[in-house]
A and B are shown apart, each in its own frame.
Chain A
Amino acid sequence: MSLPLWLEEIINIFKKQKKSSKIAKERLQLVIVHDRSQEKNTTIEKLKEELIELLSKYKDDVETEEMDFVIKADNKRVSLVASIPLKTKTTAKK
């Protein structure tokens, strides 16, 4: 069963009009990808990069992928806690 061509064309015209939710989703995802990439330029990310560079001068067994920075607060102060794991023998073998 096939529709006449003219009818199909008319349907296509309507189909091509995207629903606004679809437009919204596309715009949103684009802007969020951009926002997230900007985040890589923040102080902590820069600090992380420079620290990796510095550490590599003295130690060759830093697990750079696993490095982690966390902002924490306790009753006395707010602190930036850096976790710098070293390669263990088992992970070094990989």
Chain B
Amino acid sequence: MEKLKRTIVVTSGKGGVGKTTVTANIGAILGTMNYQVVLVDADVGLRNLDLILGLENRIVFDLLDVIENRCRSYKQALIKDKRIPNLFLLPAPQTKQKEDVPIEKFKALIDEIKEEFDFVLIDCPAGIEHGFKMSALAAEEAIVVTTPDLSSIRDADRVIANLESMQKKSTKLIINRVKKHMVKKLQMLSIEDILETLNIELLGIIPDDEYITISTNNGEPLALNKTKPLYKYFHNIAQRIIEPNIPIENPFNQSNLLEKFVSLVGFKKNK
């Protein structure tokens, strides 16, 4: 079967907005949907994607080993997730490297990988320096992650401007860690406020949820636990990556009580 060969960079500008968690979970869900997925950790020197996926003990080769030909092919460096068939990780080097990974070599590697996969998701480092440029130039599409915080939105605007100068096929926004009760009390920027300011297409909304901490602690992406409240939001985003016409799962559409009930009994709504 012909592969989709889509390359997407997940970026944010500001650090700590949940970029890596979002990458891991979307990738894992795409994997469960039977797409062939590679997650590339481009955060050279500060790798974390392995930890969130629970694959940290299985790393032998990393991105730099592949680029500097210390292993036979990139395939030797890929770590296969045993729980999710079709999900692979290419880890970032952790030992601090003085020289940056050359952009053209990284781009060539991504182009080589995409030929045999449906999705290559690149987890971009924070900032708009070399690591960002490398990741953003290597991908055809971009996802920008922001939280409803001022500093995060401001940085997202800079990232969007940078992406514009690279003419991506598409650039879409994920708003992460939305605190519903605060938005309702008008003490946090609403989805509409953010979209009005940033002028970018919305891909999805993820509410703030303590469970994500537990999921990270356990090294188990949410895709493995469909009963958890955040699952449907990540699932919705993965679906919308495949089919953009699917409506956005909006956390503001449900009543609080119903949601409490749903999470209490671990009962799945919709899917």
Within 8 A of A (CB), among B127-143: 133, 137-138
Contacts of A74 in B (CB 8 A): 104, 107
Report which of B103, B154, B186, B190 forms a contact with A73, defined as CB distance below 8 A: B103
Q: Is the interface of B mostly helix, strand, loop or mixed?
A: helix
Residues of chain A from 59 to 83 with CB closer than 8 A to chain B in the complex: 69-78
Which residue of B is nearest A32, CB measured? B157
Q: Is A39 an interface residue (CB 8 A)?
A: yes
Contacts of B107 on A, CB cut-off 8 Å? 73-75
Within B85-133, the residues touching A (CB, 8 Å) are 103-104, 107-108, 111, 133
Chain B residues with a Cβ closer than 8 Å to the other chain, count: 26
Q: Enumerate chain B residues within 8 angstroms of A78, measured Cβ to Cβ.
A: 103-104, 133, 137
Residue A19 is within 8 A (CB to CB) of chain B in the complex = yes
A40 to B177, CA, bound (A): 32
**Is B60 part of the contact surface with A, judged by Cβ < 8 Å?**
no
Among A19, A44, A70, the residue within 8 A (CB) of B167 is A70
Chain B residues near A72 (CB, 8 Å)? 137, 166-167
Instruction: Assess whether B158 is interfacial by the CB under 8 Å rule.
Output: yes
Q: What's the interface size class on A, roughly? A: 20 to 34
**Are A29 and B197 interface neighbours, CB within 8 A?**
yes
Residues of B within 8 A of A39 (CB): 161
Q: Which of A4-12, A20-28, A49-57 contacts B (4 or more CB under 8 A)?
A: A20-28
Nearest residue, chain B, Cβ from A27: B150
Q: In the docked arrangement, what's the CA distance between A23 and B189, Å?
A: 9
CA distance A25 to B196 in the complex (A): 10
State the majority secondary structure of interface residues on A. helix
B242 lies within 8 A of chain A by Cβ: no
Residue numbers in A under 8 Å from B166 (CB-CB): 70-72
How distant is the Cα of A11 from the Cα of B183 in the complex, in angstroms? 22
Is A21 within 8 A of B193, CB to CB?
A: yes
| B 186-207 contacts with A by CB, 8 A | 186-190, 193, 197
Interface positions of B (Cβ within 8 A of A): 103-104, 107-108, 111, 133, 137-138, 150, 153-154, 157-158, 161, 165-167, 183, 185-190, 193, 197
A residues bordering B, Cβ < 8 Å? 19-22, 24-25, 27-29, 31-32, 35-36, 39, 44, 69-78
